[in-house]
Amino acid sequence: MILKAEVIAKRLEEGDTETADPLVISPQPDLDKLTESGSASVDLRLGTWFVTLRPTRKSHIEIEEKEIQWKLAKTHYVPFGEKYYLHPGTFVLGITLEWIRLPIGLGAYVIGKSTWGRRGLIIATATGVHPGFKGCLTLELSNVGQVPIEIKPGMKICQIFIHKVQYISSKYLDRTQFVGSRKPRLGEVSLDDIARKLGEAHHSNL
């Protein structure tokens, strides 16, 4: 069940005082405006940190490449008041200004805003936010249009839909590697046991 904005506002207000497992969006949106919006999402703003992938002497990104952040990523800081230009065909990681905390009983989806989508700006491709997540949300920004797009830290960039999650035990939480970060991160891809075993079987047949 997706939470309506007025419910989200109430949960945020409760989370601002002492509760054991609160929903938090910080900086907090204007709760009166949120309640009155009548929507079923909260707008999130663009943060100040960006990451681009830079050309290097490497031929490609390996599946289980370690320390890829140091090898391939170039970090940019764009202060409030300054602009960043997304040229057609470019891809950059951004981050939400807001630090989010989802309690155990809530999950979320982050999606773009239609006004940006109509200009060619795609916000995110991996949109699920699991219960228990804490941190800023990395946004995969790409301009699929034909005209350069200007973006500014602090502006509304995406929206988060929050929904209830059914659970039996609260002790199992998603252990994401992206928890607790204020900067966009590439993270590390790893093959699970099944993929590894299948890969080994393939080699043994050669």
Residues that bind other proteins (CB under 8 A): 16, 18, 22, 24, 26-28, 48, 75-80, 97, 99, 101, 132, 134-136, 173, 175-176, 179-183
Q: At its nearest, how many Å lie between other proteins and the CB of residue 65?
A: 20
Residue number, 112 or 185, with CB nearest to other proteins: 185
- Cβ density class 39-67: b for 16+ within 10 Å, e for less: ebbbbbbbbbbbbeeeeeeeeeeeeeeee
Instruction: Tell how strand 149-151 and strand 91-101 pair up.
Output: unpaired
Q: Which of 140, 150, 188, 200 is catalytic?
A: 140
Residue number, 22 or 145, with CB nearest to other proteins: 22
Residue number, 57 or 70, with CB nearest to other proteins: 70
Q: At its nearest, how many Å lie between other proteins and the CB of residue 118?
A: 28
Contact assessment for residue 151 and residue 78, using Cβ atoms and an 8 Å cutoff: no
Pairwise CA distance, residues 198 & 206, whole Å = 13
Pairwise CA distance, residues 38 & 148, whole Å = 33
Active site residue 98: no
- What residues are annotated to the active site? 140
